[in-house]
A = this chain, B = another copy of it.
Amino acid sequence: MVKKNDNRDFSQIPRVVIKRLFKYHSALENLLSKGTVKVSSKSLSADVHVKASQLRKDLAYCGEFGTRGKGYDVKYLNGKLAEILGLHTEWNYILAGFGHVGHAFVCYEGIFRKGFNVKGIFDIDEKKIGQVFRGIEICDISKMPEIVREHNVQIGVITVPFDSGQSVCDKMIEAGITAILNFAPVLLKPKKSIFIERIDISRELVTLSHYLSHHKE
């Protein structure tokens, strides 16, 4: 039995599932580059260190793929996942705070390949303002609304220190940003309902200290 999935509402997929879908997508990209045509859920799940039952459950959010026992069509599934993940199009972002984290972000491998393009870099340091990095002029934050409008930017990346995270978030929202990736170690309280994803390095480290404290060798 084949269900139609053209009009599915993908907005209800939980964040944790989206992150696994991205894992599957990355593994499928790898298979595609090797010329693989079909892949079983068992083999794909082993590639990404996820249980096969979990993988099948996650893909069920996306519609029906493949025929039982015959595996998934790599190209079709990859295209469908790209569409669900919003990777079928390019995205423009701005970044505020051009210190080490900001630099690291703009230079991070894989970000361009996924279709994310930096269109504005902001800092408060007068020595940095006016410099050009990878073709982008580092600007004062007052230029943010103009740049967001001009380049149709929807994503804001916050790489400022703790104490200025909230004010930068407010300015990004005023400028029209609707999705924020936050590296500042602060829980942002947006004045308008927007989408925020936080990368908290301390939190990831703590999963290590938990492991080291409670798992015996």
Residues on A facing B (Cβ under 8 Å) = 9-11, 13, 15-16, 18-19, 22-23, 48-49, 83-89, 91, 99-101, 103-105, 107-111, 114-116, 154-155, 161-162, 178-181, 185, 187, 195, 197, 199-217
Contacts and interface: CB of A to CB of B under 8 A. Distances in A.
Q: Considering the complex of A and B, which 10 residue pairs feature the smallest CB-CB distances, nearest first?
A: A86-B209, A86-B213, A100-B104, A179-B208, A11-B214, A195-B211, A101-B104, A100-B103, A10-B214, A110-B185
A135 to B, nearest CB: 18
A60 to B, nearest CB: 17
Contacts of A197: 204-205, 207-208
B195 A114 contact: no
| Copies per complex of this chain | 2
Contacts of A19: 203, 206-207
A209 B9 CA distance: 15
A138 to B, nearest CB: 15
Contacts of A109: 161-162, 185
A212 B100 contact: no
A169 to B, nearest CB: 14
A107 B187 CA distance: 19
B11 A215 contact: yes
Contacts of A205: 111, 114, 116, 155, 181, 197
A9 to B, nearest CB: 8
13 contacts: A86-B213, A87-B206, A88-B213, A100-B107, A101-B104, A103-B104, A105-B201, A110-B201, A114-B205, A114-B206, A195-B211, A197-B204, A197-B205
Contact of A100 (B87, B100, B179, B201): B100
A216 B193 CA distance: 12
Nearest to A49: B187
Given A22-B203, A22-B206, A104-B101, A154 B212 contact: yes
